[in-house]
Chains A and B, each alone.
Chain A
Amino acid sequence: GEDVEQSLFLSVREGDSSVINCTYTDSSSTYLYWYKQEPGAGLQLLTYIFSNMDMKQDQRLTVLLNKKDKHLSLRIADTQTGDSAIYFCAETLFSGNTPLVFGKGTRLSVIA
Chain B
Amino acid sequence: GAVVSQHPSRVICKSGTSVKIECRSLDFQATTMFWYRQFPKQSLMLMATSNEGSKATYEQGVEKDKFLINHASLTLSTLTVTSAHPEDSSFYICSARETQGTGEAFFGQGTRLTVV
Binding site for B on A (CB under 8 A): 30-31, 33, 35, 40-43, 45, 48, 88, 90, 92, 94-105
Contact = CB atoms under 8 A, between A and B. Distances in A.
Contact of A42 (B32, B43, B110): B110
Given A42-B108, A99-B95, A105 B49 contact: no
Interface in B51-73: 51
Interface residues of B, number: 25
26 contacts: A31-B103, A31-B104, A31-B105, A35-B107, A41-B109, A41-B110, A42-B108, A42-B109, A42-B110, A45-B104, A45-B105, A45-B106, A88-B43, A94-B103, A96-B98, A96-B99, A96-B100, A96-B103, A97-B32, A97-B51, A98-B97, A99-B46, A100-B95, A101-B46, A104-B43, A105-B42
Interface of B: 6, 31-32, 34, 42-44, 46, 49, 51, 93, 95, 97-100, 103-110, 112
A25 B43 CA distance: 17
Nearest to B101: A96
Given A96-B100, A97-B32, 18 more contacts: A31-B104, A31-B105, A41-B109, A42-B107, A42-B108, A42-B109, A45-B105, A95-B103, A96-B98, A97-B49, A97-B99, A99-B34, A99-B46, A100-B95, A100-B105, A101-B46, A103-B43, A105-B42
A21 B22 CA distance: 34
A55 B79 CA distance: 38
